[in-house]
Structure 1
Amino acid sequence: MSKNDVGENAVIIPILRAGMSMSNRLTKRLPKADVARISMRRNLHTLKPFVAWDEFEQIKEPESKRVFITDPALATAGSILKTLEHMKKYGFKDENVVIMAMFGCQSGIERIFKEHPEVKLFLVHMADGIREDGYLLPYNGDTGDRLYGVRENEYVI
């Protein structure tokens, strides 16, 4: 397999906005991979996520694709769980999923493996825990806000 073939049967799914910070680098390592973004929002009172939009329809034969979900912060795991649930509607398979996160906490990891035991997870750093508002401890702010300088999470739906 040549360097240009790397990622030929793969899909990179960044959870926007923060997931782009990881997927942009991953596409350099997997140049043939498709990229299908998903935009997630959450209600600030309930912390429940919902899908604003996605690009999954563009992926041909999703059941055979190796999937890399990128999201730097795995706190409540709500966004990743909602993404996995949403992906099933298009035919993606749990056994082909690799979740890549920078920071996470034990409770979020446990939620993922309880509902999706076949996925794989790569985590760089284990956080101390999670705050009542759903952010990791120690608190570093909203990852997307910090990366892009735009306050997106100041509204309630």
Structure 2
Amino acid sequence: MSKNLTVVDHPLVQHKLSFMRDKTTPSAHFRQLLGEIAQLLAYEATRDLPLEMREVETPLQPMQSPYLSGKKLALVSILRAGNGMLDSLLHLIPSARVGFVGLYRDEETLKPVQYYFKVPEDISERDVLAIDPMLATGNSSVAAIDLLKAAGARRITFLCLLAAPEGVARMQEAHPDVRIITASLDECLNEQGYIVPGLGDAGDRMFGTK
């Protein structure tokens, strides 16, 4: 398995994920939980952001205190399900720039089809968090990373709720430099390309479209 894979097994993450897996969990609660887990995953993903020391005046005395240095993150949502993670990450990192990659999966070929792409012009100067709840076949995720690298992105982390071994292997083969942060590495894919045991289609469950 990829050396760049990190599974965040924190008890709070796993507890919230169990509610998301439950097919009786309503869409509103599903969206809330996805946002909460996204923030917890982001703590791990941003662990190594560079800091610089600046003087700050506390109520008692001046001191040297750490601030994020350089340009801040770019958050890139892989539509549509990535938007379920975006708002929560912006609450955590309000200075981040935002991009979007529009891809959908052809249900017969399981291949990604692009319909939209817009990212910050200076993406080459920013650490990028590409966000999508599911890393299943890996085809859409790899296609999104292809587009981001073509636009100049150099330091990319892929943040997802669930990953399948097949998707991790596909990403590692195509983009071995991309770090993957996930809440769970599930068992496998079924014949329809869904993660098993998984939680179903994240977009449909998030927006109540099925």
Relative to the length of structure 1, the TM-score reads 0.85
Amino acid at match of 1:66: D
Q: Could you say which residue in structure 2 is the equivalent of 1:66?
A: 127
* Greater relative CO, 1 or 2 (CA 8 Å, sep 6+): 2
Question: d(CA) in 2 for partners of 1:64 and 1:92?
Answer: 8
Matched, 1:16 2:75: no
Unaligned runs of 5+ in 1: 152-157
Q: Could you say which residue in structure 2 is the equivalent of 1:42?
A: 105
Give the fraction of aligned pairs with identical amino acids, expressed as a percent: 28
Task: Confirm or deny: 8 A CA contact 2:135 2:162 kept in the other structure.
Answer: yes
Q: Could you say which residue in structure 2 is the equivalent of 1:30?
A: 93
Matched, 1:132 2:186: no
Quote the offset at 1:60 in angstroms: 2.4
Task: Confirm or deny: 8 A CA contact 1:103 1:127 kept in the other structure.
Answer: yes
Task: Confirm or deny: 8 A CA contact 1:7 1:32 kept in the other structure.
Answer: no
Cα distance change on mapping 1:4 and 1:32 into 2, 3 Å = farther
Cα distance change on mapping 1:139 and 1:29 into 2, 3 Å = closer
Question: d(CA) in 1 for partners of 2:75 and 2:189?
Answer: 27
Quote the offset at 1:124 in angstroms: 0.5
Of stretches 3-12 and 132-141 in structure 1, the one that deviates more from structure 2 is: 3-12
Question: d(CA) in 2 for partners of 1:5 and 1:135?
Answer: 38
Amino acid at match of 2:175: H
Quote the offset at 1:140 in angstroms: 2.7
Q: Deviations over 1:23-75 (max 9, x none)?
A: 2111111111011111111211100002110212xx12221110001111111
Larger Rg: 2
Classify the secondary structure of the residue corresponding to 1:32.
Answer: coil
Unaligned runs of 5+ in 2: 1-51, 53-64
Given the alignment, which residue of 119, 128, 138 partners 1:77? 138
Quote the offset at 1:150 in angstroms: 2.1
Q: Could you say which residue in structure 2 is the equivalent of 1:114?
A: 173
Q: Could you say which residue in structure 1 is the equivalent of 2:31?
A: none
Matches within 5 A, 1:51-62: 51-56=114-119, 59-62=120-123
Of stretches 131-140 and 116-125 in structure 1, the one that deviates more from structure 2 is: 131-140
**What count of residue pairs does the alignment treat as equivalent?**
147
Question: d(CA) in 2 for partners of 1:22 and 1:3?
Answer: 27
After TM superposition, what 4+ stretches of structure 1 lie above 3 angstroms from structure 2?
A: 1-8
Relative to the length of structure 2, the TM-score reads 0.65
Aligned Cα RMSD in Å?
2.1
Q: Could you say which residue in structure 2 is the equivalent of 1:90?
A: 151
